[in-house]
Structure formats: structure tokens, C-alpha cells
Amino acid sequence: MISKNFGEEIKTARMYNKLTIREAAKRMGLSHSYLSQIENNKRSIPSPEVIKKISVGLNTDYYYLLSVAGYNNEAYKTLSFLNKLIDEAPEEFKIDFMKKHDPHIRKLIENRRKLNDKLPNPEVSIRFPSTFFINAEVHDYLRLMRLNKKLSNKEMAEKLGIKEEQYIKMESKMTYSSLELEQYSTRLGEIFGVEEFKDWLLFVFTETPNQNFVDDYTPEDVMKEITVTVPSVVKKYDSDGKVFFQSYNEDQLRQNFSKLEHILSDDRLLTYYGRVLTSKDKQKILRMMEILFE
């Protein structure tokens, strides 16, 4: 399948970033001829993996490019749903949030109210989306979605089977590590139409530039352990070019694991922007590091 819109979108993004075909292709880890064929609609739509490389190279939203390419992507739909929530947030919610997180807006609102409490605040809606993405916490999302559904605190409490006072407290203090989020995640997801509420929040926090989440999450929430094996006997060459074998005990292996010369050893497959590093590439990196730290 060839999409004229996709090629034009890539070309527009590249020109906006003031990149030549070769410069952009290098940042993506692709050949310049391949990128040129995509832009000129002479190649079929790339795989999602290649589109990911393109989005990184052009600093463009991955899910947006997937949508332009014609992929039926659920993640992009989720972000579209979130943008709709933010656009339709009640004015009172926007003002309260902006007064808390944007000192400039707070000062404007206060000064206008002194003059006339009916004066509008157009800056609120303009700056609200970016401010919300950066600063919103779990309880902010909970309140936003409740208001979007036009549910009162009492109605939410009834749906969760708890007292109204308990819900009000939960909405004001809930974090990603709260026991209440774990306990009511499924039910909240059903109420808001996002399946598991906690999983939806994790997706939102990892796909938006949210700073609060960085300080709030526990590693177990978003990290997965991967086992890496390393050889305990390594083939080496002495100064005369003769081969010898170096063996390491467990403590030495642990120390070696983080040493750059072991990370760049020939038996490890390493890539940089999609390009596999050769033995010569690795030796160049080591020499450069030696010069830098002399």
C-alpha cells in the first residue's frame, strides 16, 4: 500500500526541521535513498518499527504518523481521547488547575477579578493543555474524567460502593502508588470507558511529558527485568599478537559488566540509530574515550 499523504507528511516534517535527506536519514538510521523513495511515494508504507525510527529522527509524534500511515492504532486513539477530555474540561477546572501550576496566569486572573470579576481569561484555555500534561497528577486525571462524565462526588461514591467523604478524600490525594488506585482500577476503568484505569494512566504518563510521575512511580510498575549472560572466559591478544584466554570469577564479571571496553567487546551486538556497530566502530569509540579522559 502506498500513501501519498504519508510521504508528503514526512517531507513536510523534514523540511520544517531544516534537514536534508541525508541528514534526516542518518538520524533515523535509514538509507537516504530509501527515505527519498518514501517521500516521493515510490515505496509502500513502512512497518511500525520503521515509522518509529522516522518519528525519532524528525521529532514527530509516533502515533500521529501511524494514523497518517493508515494503521489502526489503539494507542493513538487513547491519546486522541485524552486530548478531547482536555479540550472539553470545564472552565472552572481549568482555572483552578492553572492558578495552582502557572503563577503568570494566576496573577492575570487575580488582577482581572479586581477590575471586573466577569472579565474572560482566554489565556487559560490556550496554556491549559501543555500545563496539564506536564503537571497533572493521578487525582487530577480522576477529577477531570469525573467532571467530563458530569458525575457528582456522591454519584461516583455510589458507583464505587463507598461513602462520599471517602471518595472526596481519594480524589484529592490519589497517587499512582495508592492502594485505592489498585483496589478501584477496574471499576474506574469501566466508569470512564478506558478498561483498567491504572493501565490507562501508565500509558498516558509514559507518552506525555509528565514530571510528577517520574517522582511518584515505583520501578516495579514500569520496569521489567531482563537477564543478560556474559562469558566467563574471554579470548584476548597480547602485545605480540599472540592469543591467550582470560578467565573471570563472579566478582570480576560483576565489575566488568559496566566497563566500557566490555560493553564494546566484539561478542556483543550493538546498534546506533539502527546501524550495527562494527569492530572498527567500537575501537574508534574506545580511542575517543581515551583521548577525552587523558
| Cα distance between residue 179 and residue 214, in whole Å | 18
What's residue 144's pLDDT?
A: 94
3 state DSSP class of 272: strand
Interatomic CA distance for residues 139 and 256, integer angstroms: 44
Assess whether pLDDT exceeds 60 at residue 274.
no
The grid coordinates listed for 228 are 543478560
Kindly report, residue by residue over 70-105, the tens digit of the pLDDT.
Answer: 765 555 566 777 888 888 899 999 999 999 998 888
pLDDT, mean of residues 14-37: 91
Hey, CA dihedral for 34, 39, 44, 48, is it positive or negative?
positive
Distance CA 86, CA 201 (A): 14
Is the confidence at residue 258, as pLDDT, over 80?
Answer: no
Beta-carbon contacts of residue 274 (< 8 Å; ≥ 6 apart): 28, 29, 30, 53
Q: Using the 8-state DSSP alphabet, how is residue 271 labeled?
A: E
Residue 127 contacts residue 173 (beta carbons within 8 Å):
no
pLDDT of residue 218: 53
Question: What per-residue confidence (pLDDT) applies to 226?
Answer: 61
Q: Read off the pLDDT of residues 149-204 as tens digits, 9 standing for 90 and up.
A: 999 999 999 999 999 999 999 999 998 888 999 999 999 999 998 878 988 888 78
